[in-house]
């Protein structure tokens, strides 16, 4: 036990410790974490702050008095502290405790802090090590960081400030672990080159690709722009017996009659392979009968009448059910192509796939920029998860490129994200208030809610009607009644 006078003198070298934690019950703590006060149990804390008491620090120092002071200080900050006076025994202590962070003195008898950093960098590369010393020199700092130390702190330690730094380290480590978990989870899903996804909606898509890739049946890919429909079309082709035959894209909005009948038409060039009809929903109505006729002739035929054996895959971001109902798309062509339907989920419905894709894009973009960017800070990751990504995967890729171009550090921060992502706030329909003058009529409540559902459904009236519990005619009638656009994405 350290004498009271000695303890006070050592404590004067440290910053005033954080407010004490109180114990209102056996398994419920009142914690103050970075200004966030919660009287509830740990599970109420957001993100990686949950269960903060399980976070462990291993402190390695030959000064027993300092170890006791630091143990007391960091414990009051909410950490579990393990100590070790011998760098030679630190590896065993770390393995036994599975600490999240290591704080080690630089100058110790026997194995010093630099040698310990070197050992831990090899045996536990995912565990950050912070070197602390009372004999700070630039040379020793550089030496420690070169062999694997994450950071360098000069004694006397400011416990409160150091605790803040440790929490950030733990958050960043948790994000890296989450990305690793998502990647390992992919091993249980079909391994389809170019398509990443661990969320339930994407697992369904990947499984369906596996089941129908080698089928002769036509496939209709639907979903918002930027959700990866073209990648799925390529995956269907690459995993079929046609993989060595042509894959020919045909842009439907610019389709001409020659594309269907000419000697060098895409239909002829796709013989034995796959014809990919891009933006099928924008195919001119006048050409739809000709395309249907070509498809009905044995999946297209050459001038001699020989079947071309072409597999049809089509993609659209338009609600073809509504287009058929509105007379903008032929029903017979719709049924001819919509044999197998694959709906691509929007990125906002894919949960942690956002981080998985963002990390994959980062690993592709960062080397091209010449910057050693390796991940995302917690605030940036949380904002990316909260954002609704109207541009889907394409917008996420652009966001990562933007962030890499701006960042000056090896982790992308909130300030590096595009303004609309950084400043995003989720919109909600507010229909109640404590102020009677702010209350609205039931018809206004319905108008606002229908508008919100149409926005969330990206103008897909079939989906919106299903969510609202209406048939489509009722939805059309209410849209007209309330003066709402039938396609809110068109503006």
Element (H, E) at 315: strand 311-316
pLDDT of residue 296: 74
Query: Are both 171 and 43 inside the same structural domain?
Result: yes
Mark which of 154, 182, 210 sits at the end of a domain.
182
Q: Please give the backbone phi and psi of residue 122, each rounded to the nearest 5 degrees, phi first.
A: -85, -40
Q: Are residues 301 and 227 in the same domain?
A: yes
Reading the block at residue 273, the tokens are 């392979």
DSSP 453-487: HHHHTTT-HHHHHHHHT--HHHHHHHHHHTT--S-
Residues 359 and 330 in one domain: no
Q: Which residues of 392-417 are buried (b: 16+ CB within 10 A; e: fewer)?
A: bbebbbebbbbbbeebeeebbbbebb
Residues in the chain: 491
CATH of the domain at 400: 1.10.8.60
Q: What is the pLDDT of residue 439?
A: 63
**Range of 484's domain?**
436-490
Last residue within a domain, chosen from 393, 422, 451: 422
Q: Is 190 part of a structural domain of the chain?
A: no
CATH number for the domain that contains residue 339: 3.40.50.300
Asked if 320 and 364 sit in the same domain, the reply is no
Provide the sign of the torsion angle of the four alpha carbons 119, 125, 127, 131, taken in this order.
positive
Bridge partners of 22, per DSSP, are 30
Distances (CA, A) of 246 to 151, 309, 338: 54, 12, 22
Q: Do 404 and 447 share a domain, yes or no?
A: no
Q: Are 339 and 352 in a shared domain?
A: no
Query: Which pair of tokens denotes residue 219?
Result: 């496939």
- What pLDDT, on the 0 to 100 scale, is given for residue 148? 81
Here the tokens at position 128 are 């950050």
Asked if residue 384 belongs to a domain, the reply is yes
Could you tell me the CATH number of the domain that includes residue 484? 1.10.10.60
- Maximum Cα–Cα distance for the chain, whole Å? 104
Residue 188 is assigned to a structural domain of this protein: no
Reduced to 3 states (helix: H, G, I; strand: E, B; else coil), residue 239 is coil
Task: Give residue for tokens 């630099």.
Answer: 114
The pLDDT of residue 31:
23
Q: How far apart are CA 205 and CA 214, in angstroms?
A: 15
Predicted pLDDT at 389: 93
Alpha-carbon distance 411 to 416, whole Å? 10
Q: What is the pLDDT of residue 247?
A: 94
Report the chain's terminal Cα–Cα distance, integer Å: 73
The number of folded domains in the chain is: 4
Peptide bond into 156 cis (omega under 30): yes
Whether residues 358 and 482 share a domain: the answer is no
Examine the fold and report which residue of 395, 422, 449 is the final residue of a domain before the chain moves on. Answer: 422
The pLDDT, as a whole number, for residue 228 is: 93
Same domain membership, residue 225 and residue 161: no
Helix (H) or strand (E) holding 326: none
Q: Verify that 339 and 464 share a domain, yes or no.
A: no
Q: Report pLDDT for 438.
A: 54
Whether residue 8 sits in one domain with residue 153: yes
Give the model's pLDDT for residue 398: 96
Cα–Cα dist 61/132, whole Å: 9
Kindly state whether residues 32 and 174 are assigned to the same domain: yes
What whole-number distance in Å separates Cα of residue 436 and Cα of residue 122?
Answer: 66
Q: What is the pLDDT of residue 110?
A: 79
Assigned token pair, 100:
């999240």
Position 276 scores a pLDDT of: 95
Question: What pLDDT shows up at residue 185?
Answer: 53
pLDDT, averaged in runs of 10, over the chain (491 residues):
39 35 28 28 34 70 89 89 88 86 85 85 84 71 79 82 83 70 52 76 91 92 93 93 92 86 78 92 92 70 63 94 91 94 92 91 92 89 90 95 94 94 70 55 80 81 86 87 66 38
C-alpha pair distances (Å), 276 with each of 93, 145, 233: 59, 53, 7
Q: Are residues 341 and 362 in the same domain?
A: no
């Amino acid at each position: 036990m350290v004498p009271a006078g000695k303890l006070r003198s050592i404590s004067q070298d440290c910053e005033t410790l954080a407010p004490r934690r109180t114990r209102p019950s056996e398994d419920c703590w009142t914690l103050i974490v970075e200004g966030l006060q919660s009287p509830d149990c740990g599970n109420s804390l957001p993100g990686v702050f949950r269960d903060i008491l399980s976070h462990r620090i291993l402190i390695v120092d030959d000064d027993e008095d300092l170890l006791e002071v630091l143990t007391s200080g960091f414990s009051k900050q909410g950490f579990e502290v393990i100590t070790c006076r011998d760098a030679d025994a630190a590896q065993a202590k770390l393995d036994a405790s599975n600490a999240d962070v290591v704080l080690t003195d630089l100058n110790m008898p026997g194995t010093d802090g630099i040698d310990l950093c070197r050992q831990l960098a090899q045996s536990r590369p995912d565990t950050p090590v912070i070197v602390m010393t009372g004999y700070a020199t630039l040379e020793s700092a550089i030496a420690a960081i070169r062999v694997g130390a994450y950071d360098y702190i000069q004694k006397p330690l400011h416990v409160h400030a150091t605790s803040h730094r440790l929490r950030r380290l733990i958050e960043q480590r948790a994000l890296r672990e989450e990305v690793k978990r998502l990647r390992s989870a992919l091993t249980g899903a079909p391994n389809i080159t170019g398509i990443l996804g661990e969320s339930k909606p994407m697992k369904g898509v990947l499984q369906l690709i596996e089941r129908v890739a080698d089928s002769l049946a036509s496939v209709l890919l639907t979903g918002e722009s930027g959700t990866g429909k073209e990648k799925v079309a390529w995956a269907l082709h690459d995993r079929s017996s046609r993989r060595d035959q042509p894959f020919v894209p045909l842009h439907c909005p610019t389709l001409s009659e020659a594309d269907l009948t000419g000697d060098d038409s895409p239909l002829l060039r796709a013989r034995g392979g796959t014809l990919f009809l891009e933006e099928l929903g924008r195919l001119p109505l006048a050409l739809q009968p000709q395309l249907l006729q070509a498809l009905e002739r044995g999946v297209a035929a050459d001038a001699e009448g020989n079947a071309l054996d072409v597999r049809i895959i089509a993609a659209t971001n338009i609600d073809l059910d509504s287009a058929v109902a509105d007379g903008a798309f032929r029903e017979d062509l719709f049924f001819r192509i919509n044999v197998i339907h694959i709906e691509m989920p929007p990125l906002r419905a894919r949960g942690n796939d956002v981080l998985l894709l963002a990390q994959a894009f980062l690993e592709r973009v960062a080397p091209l920029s010449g910057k050693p960017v390796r991940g995302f800070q917690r605030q940036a990751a949380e904002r990316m998860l909260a954002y609704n990504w109207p541009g889907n995967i394409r917008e996420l890729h652009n966001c990562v490129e933007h962030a890499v171009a701006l960042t000056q550090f090896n982790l992308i921060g909130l300030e590096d994200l595009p303004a609309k992502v950084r400043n995003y706030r989720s919109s909600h329909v507010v229909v109640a208030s404590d102020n009677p003058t702010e209350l609205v009529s039931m018809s206004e409540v319905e108008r606002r809610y229908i508008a919100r559902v149409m926005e969330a459904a990206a103008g897909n009236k079939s989906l919106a009607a299903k969510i609202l519990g209406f048939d489509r005619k009722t939805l059309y009638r209410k849209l007209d009644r309330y003066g709402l656009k039938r396609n809110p994405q068109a503006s």
